Amino acid sequence: MKKYVCVTFCIALIVLFTTSFAFSQALDGLWFQAKSTYKGYTVDAGGLLTKASGKLVNYINFTWETDGSNYNIVFYDEAGNMITSTTKVAIGANEEIIEDLGGILGDATQNIYTHLTPLIKIKRGREGPLKSVTITSMGCEVYGGGIDGNDFYGGCTMKAKSIEAPPFPL
């Protein structure tokens, strides 16, 4: 009986130390194509509110910081111009949420300033390599920006999927 308990304990230790509980840095180096929709109101210089809605496309790159605790996340427009960057921590054993991945979506002339909480879904193959990653907003507030030359306020959604590389030169 003593031998059985010892063998079981050894197997449990081997499993414990060889099984990864978190896929840390799974997003390092990944590119995403993000499609956002916005809906709300523009405010012109005279204070007139006008309903507005539309779509924006951005490219997002995740890079693991050398300090070992954050991602540097850079947003680009469709032409490859950097729009904004932020440093954030992924939350959850499988990096499923990034708290307030807010930033600027759009480009230099049509943009929205957001507070965005995304849900990240990582799909892996049988052996553990990444197959795909998707990012979906669970909530998105637009607290400013500019649409058609006017200030914009409202809400948005964002869906992003992992891609091999952006369509612009790096």
Question: What pLDDT is stored for residue 4 in this prediction?
Answer: 53
pLDDT digits (tens, 9 = 90+) for 101-152: 888 999 999 999 999 999 999 888 887 778 899 999 999 999 999 999 999 9
- Judged against a pLDDT cut of 50, whether residue 54 lies above it is answered with yes
pTM > 0.95: yes or no: no
* Residues with Cβ within 8 Å of residue 162, at least 6 apart in sequence: 30, 31, 32, 130, 132, 133, 134
Q: Do residues 138 and 24 make contact, with C-beta atoms less than 8 angstroms apart?
A: no
- Judged against a pLDDT cut of 90, whether residue 163 lies above it is answered with yes
Question: What pLDDT is stored for residue 169 in this prediction?
Answer: 92
Taking the C-alpha atoms of residue 125 and residue 119, their distance in angstroms, rounded to an integer, is 20
pLDDT, greater one: 74 or 21: 74
Question: What pLDDT is stored for residue 89 in this prediction?
Answer: 87
- Judged against a pLDDT cut of 90, whether residue 63 lies above it is answered with yes
Question: What pLDDT is stored for residue 164 in this prediction?
Answer: 95
pLDDT digits (tens, 9 = 90+) for 5-50: 444 444 444 433 433 334 458 889 999 999 999 999 999 999 999 9
Q: Which residue from 113, 160, 162 is spatially nearest to 140, judged by alpha carbons? A: 113
Question: What pLDDT is stored for residue 109 in this prediction?
Answer: 93
The residue-averaged pLDDT of 80-106 equals 88
Q: Which residue from 153, 76, 151 is spatially nearest to 107, judged by alpha carbons? A: 76
